Amino acid sequence: MTLIEFRNVSFVHQTGVTALTDVSLSIGKGETVAIVGENGAGKTTLVRHINGLLKPTKGSVLVEGKDTRETTTATLSRKVGIAFQNPDHQLFSESVENEVRFAMKNFGFGEDLIAQRLDWTLKFFGLDQYRKSSPLVLSGGEKKRLTLACILAWDPDVVVLDEPTVGQDALQKEKLGQIFKLLQSTGKTIIIVSHDVEFLWPIQPRLVVMSGGKVVADGQISQIMGNRELLEGARVTQPQLLRLYQGLASRPATPFLDVLEARDWIGGRKQKPEAR
Amino acid sequence: MSNTASIRRGPGNTLASIDHLSFRYPDSPNPAVRDVSLEVREGEVVLLAGPSGCGKSTLLRCINGLIPHMYPGEYKGGVTVGGLKVAETPMSTLAQNVGLLFQNPENQIFMFSVERDIAFGLQNLSVPREEMRSRVDETMRLLGITALADRAPHELSDGQKQRAALAGVIAMRPKLIILDEPTSLLDPKTALEVVALIEKLNRELGITFIVVEHRLELLIPIAHRLVVMDNGSKVMDGAPQEVLADGRAEGYGVGIPPVAKLYSALSKDGIRLPKVPETPEEMAEELNGL
């Protein structure tokens, strides 16, 4: 079932700069889609159309069949949660807990539910000790996690994450990976804008490549990542495990998705000739 | 980039020396940095890693003087940069020795044009007009941004902004440049270009770098050393490939690049490769040769 549809969308900023040119894209319910491409390719502009923060200059964007021009951002936001790239553009409350409460209150959640969700999200994201602190004293990585916590707390159907791994250490990235699995298993539609190809590769999302305001490729990540020429144009690099796979003289039919897969395969092959 | 390692200028005399340094912020019960000792030699590229909150940023602030000059707190031990004791040297003098580039260039560039932004630090140091002109021109040429001289910061792409911010730091001709996640906001290709630039500045001008970065795979090929911090202490310090191949690094929450992780896993399985590979292509070649 199509949940989000871009129909020949173009967007021109007030300054006259064209950010999107004739973008058509449809995203089904429950899909995990990653958007990659060079700085300034139009990725952020694209996702800001999904909750109506931006309206197309030409063409239309439909969410559950409804044109975003005919719906308010407030209504769309109940369905679509966006965590911005720069958390400073998003955080404003005097305390971390009020930041998480804010949207839930606006959407009319009961106090009990708010308290329960608040507890869960703050603990899950390792922010519990900062409950009463101002969001402004958090580190860059912590702020980023707080924006995610705020969105997951109100449980939108569509979760849009703009560069979620920036400033996150390895453990936090691993946690983010787990969150994706959790969200996928509950049928959420997930849209990730990211430069972090190493993070995206094991998730194996559908990959949309943007360049110069256009969608230049759309398909399975393992196929697109094999096309070096295409990646070059969009200033994307190949993940390490794919590069390793391509360099092997003898290799399995499909690339390694994670280190464990590579280890098992190489181990299985190499141990035989060594046995005496 | 990897084949330039052999011609890179070898590290020389001690440039920065951190001696049993501890620091505690006034409102925090525990020290952010605990008894850290570290020698950084001239011409080195030192990569600093560790989980968020491990004290990396605090350590950087101690090296460029923001601590103790701007952030008061309980300060023990000492830091010396280029022979100057950081705690006893005014920030304006330190700024000529140590340049700091923040994670987000938007927090750093603010003038009406790239050129004026680069000149800003020099103006503050009262550098004569003639010399200022030549230093600004030279820096723009070095970073390949001469064509952007008259652009306003908001007219630049993210990669260009990062270059402009770096130019402002380079123009001061510091001996040591500290970079806090310089590539985190950049697309992979632009990130590689910034890494190539760091390598060039290190090789051609002998500038020493201390770099904090979570995406280690980008910086490993140009780094001389990898230092890992955990819970305020320095816990590992050595050649990057050796630190990565040491199983402990992953336990400290360091983001081990997939190839290095695979190398360690294979070693545990008894599959020994001739050397720790720097790139996936190198690893594939080693495996093909087994």
CATH number at residue A122: 3.40.50.300
Q: Residue-wise over B83-112: b if at least 16 C-beta within 10 A, else e?
A: ebebeebeeeebbebbbbbebbbbebbeee
Contact assessment for residue B234 and residue B228, using Cβ atoms and an 8 Å cutoff: yes
Contacts of A183 (CB under 8 A, 6+ apart): A159, A190
Instruction: Please check whether residue B280 touches A, CB under 8 A.
Output: yes
Contact assessment for residue A160 and residue A81, using Cβ atoms and an 8 Å cutoff: yes
Range of the domain at A182: 2-238
Find tokens 């181990």 and name the residue.
A267
Work out the number of other CB atoms within 10 angstroms of the CB of residue A32: 20
Yes or no, beta carbons of A237 and B189 under 8 Å apart: yes
User: Which residues face B16 on adjacent strands?
Assistant: B40, B81
| Percent of chain A whose predicted confidence (pLDDT) is above 70 | 97
B64-90: pLDDT as tens digits: 999 999 988 999 999 999 999 999 999
Say what the pLDDT of residue A47 is. Answer: 96
| Average pLDDT, rounded, for chain A | 90
Same domain, yes or no: A107 and A52: yes
Chain B residues whose CB is inside 8 A of the A136 CB are none
- Contact map slice: B 99-158 vs A, CB within 8 A: 103-104, 157-158
Top pLDDT among A7 and B275 is at A7
Contact assessment for residue B223 and residue B278, using Cβ atoms and an 8 Å cutoff: no
Number of structural domains found in chain A:
2
On the CB side of B7, CA atoms within 13 Å amount to: 8
Here the ipTM equals 0.82
* Ramachandran assignment for A254, one of left (phi > 0), alpha (psi -120 to 50 degrees), beta (any other): beta
Average pLDDT over residues A16-26: 94
Top pLDDT among B156 and A106 is at A106
Chain A residues whose CB is inside 8 A of the B271 CB are 266-267, 270-271
Nearest residue of chain A to residue B162 (CA atoms): A39
DSSP state of A1: -
Same domain, yes or no: A162 and A269: no
B112-158: pLDDT as tens digits: 788 888 888 888 878 899 999 999 998 898 888 898 898 887 778 77
Testing the interface with B: which of A240, A245, A270, A276 to mutate, by most B Cβ within 10 A? Answer: A240
Testing the interface with B: which of A89, A128, A244 to mutate, by most B Cβ within 10 A? Answer: A244
Q: Which two tokens stand for residue B60?
A: 């950087």
Min Cα–Cα distance to chain B from A253, Å: 16
Testing the interface with A: which of B56, B185, B244, B262 to mutate, by most A Cβ within 10 A? Answer: B262
Nearest by CB: A170 against B255, B279, B283: B255
Same domain, yes or no: A149 and A255: no
- Give the CA angle between residues A28, A31, A35 to the nearest 5°: 100
Instruction: Please check whether residue B258 touches A, CB under 8 A.
Output: yes
Q: Which two tokens stand for residue B75?
A: 């300060």
Same domain, yes or no: A100 and A12: yes
B3 band by pLDDT with thresholds 50, 70 and 90: very low
Phi and psi at residue A187, in whole multiples of 5°? 80, 15
Please state whether beta strands B33-41 and B84-85 pair in parallel, antiparallel, or not at all (unpaired).
unpaired
Instruction: Please check whether residue A91 touches B, CB under 8 A.
Output: no
In whole angstroms, give the CA distance from residue B2 to residue B17: 28
Say what the pLDDT of residue A273 is. Answer: 43
| Average pLDDT, rounded, for chain B | 87
Chain A residues whose CB is inside 8 A of the B157 CB are 39-40
Same domain, yes or no: A87 and A150: yes
Q: What global pTM score does this model have?
A: 0.84
Same domain, yes or no: A146 and A256: no
B236, pLDDT greater than 80: yes
Q: Which two tokens stand for residue A77?
A: 């936001």
Average pLDDT over residues B50-54: 83
In whole angstroms, give the CA distance from residue A197 to residue B97: 36
Average pLDDT over residues B85-111: 80
Same domain, yes or no: A97 and A209: yes
Same domain, yes or no: A223 and A263: no
Same domain, yes or no: A196 and A252: no
Same domain, yes or no: A205 and A243: no
Same domain, yes or no: A80 and A211: yes
Work out the number of other CB atoms within 10 angstroms of the CB of residue A211: 20
B55, pLDDT greater than 50: yes
In whole angstroms, give the CA distance from residue A95 to residue B230: 28
In whole angstroms, give the CA distance from residue B23 to residue B34: 7
Same domain, yes or no: A135 and A92: yes
